[in-house]
Structure 1
Amino acid sequence: MTTTIAFVCVQNAGRSQMAYAFAERERRERGRDDLAFVTGGTRPADHVHPEVVEAMRAVGIDISERVPREVSFAEIQDADVVITMGCSAADVCPANWSGENRDWNLDDPDGKSPEEVARIRDDIASRVRALFTEF
């Protein structure tokens, strides 16, 4: 059985992109084909924030080609867990959705200093590792 986890944010240009990238790396490194991931936003931006691209590059992950995308109703319906990054799940999860939702309540890295973005990045990496332990 596959567990699907959706990483959702408003713009899908920072936090959710980092979470998705870390989750993909963890899945490859741990050989966890039983976990699937989706990322998207409710109002996606035009591009991933440059400071996020740089912060991820600093830890060996290239997300420079990633493009923010809108998360679909079907993707949310199909997810077992929806993780929002500091925005309300009410805007994301439909009323009749029966899955689990969590809000990680992370600061938005847009426009932050490299040190602040690195702190957010490292927090996300830690949370993603914990997810793999949990699931």
Structure 2
Amino acid sequence: MKTILFVCVENAGRSQMAEGFFNKYAPKGFRAVSAGTKPASQINPLAVQAMKEAGVDISSQKSKIITEDMIRDSEKAVNMGCMDKAECPLLFLNNPVDWGIEDPKGKPIEKVREIRDDIERRVKELVKNLEHSR
């Protein structure tokens, strides 16, 4: 099983949404995992709500710390975007893709939905590229 790693600092919003979408659309033989450098105590409730509206339940996912094994075992690493340069997961990844997506933390649900839709579009594109590169 090949792993795609989605990372952000708190692993509470963007990377969790990306993990949920990727696992929904994943090509055969692929799965997603997400992690962060400073995991939050809980996933952003608005991210959970926005994903539920899109038909993906991430309510049982937990914020996780990024590990060397995750980095080493991933086929591709996607950095969701960094607001905190000192804790940015980009510092630890080899050849990451950086999506530069706005952090949904503290944003109203309308903005979280926009971020969710952007993540879904990018995940679908990533899945399509993985299928074509086989």
Report the TM-score, using the length of structure 2 for normalisation.
0.86
Pairing of 1:48-67 with structure 2 (within 5 A): 48-67=43-62
- Whether the aligned pair in 1 keeps the contact of 2:9 and 2:89 (CA below 8 Å) is no
Identity of aligned residues (%): 39
- Structure 2, unaligned stretches of length 5 or more? 83-87
User: In the aligned structure 2, how far is the partner of 1:116 from the partner of 1:53?
Assistant: 14
- How many corresponding residue pairs? 125
1:38 aligned to 2:33? yes
- Whether the aligned pair in 1 keeps the contact of 2:78 and 2:97 (CA below 8 Å) is yes
User: In the aligned structure 1, how far is the partner of 2:129 from the partner of 2:105?
Assistant: 29
- Structure 1, unaligned stretches of length 5 or more? none
User: In the aligned structure 2, how far is the partner of 1:51 from the partner of 1:81?
Assistant: 27
1:3-58 per-residue CA deviation (whole Å, 9 max, x = no partner) reads 4210011100000000000001112xxxx222232211111000001111111111
* Letter of the structure 1 residue corresponding to residue 74 of structure 2: A
Q: What SS class does the counterpart of residue 3 from structure 2 fall into? A: strand
Q: What SS class does the counterpart of residue 80 from structure 1 fall into? A: strand
Q: What SS class does the counterpart of residue 68 from structure 1 fall into? A: coil
Return 72-81 or 13-22, whichever deviates more: 72-81
State the partner residue of 2:92. 92
Cα distance change of structure 1 residues 47 and 89 upon mapping to structure 2, 3 Å threshold: closer
* Letter of the structure 2 residue corresponding to residue 40 of structure 1: A
Report the TM-score, using the length of structure 1 for normalisation.
0.86
1:122 aligned to 2:117? yes
User: In the aligned structure 1, how far is the partner of 2:80 from the partner of 2:32?
Assistant: 15
- Whether the aligned pair in 1 keeps the contact of 2:8 and 2:89 (CA below 8 Å) is no
- Whether the aligned pair in 2 keeps the contact of 1:4 and 1:79 (CA below 8 Å) is yes
- Whether the aligned pair in 2 keeps the contact of 1:89 and 1:101 (CA below 8 Å) is no
1:17 aligned to 2:16? yes
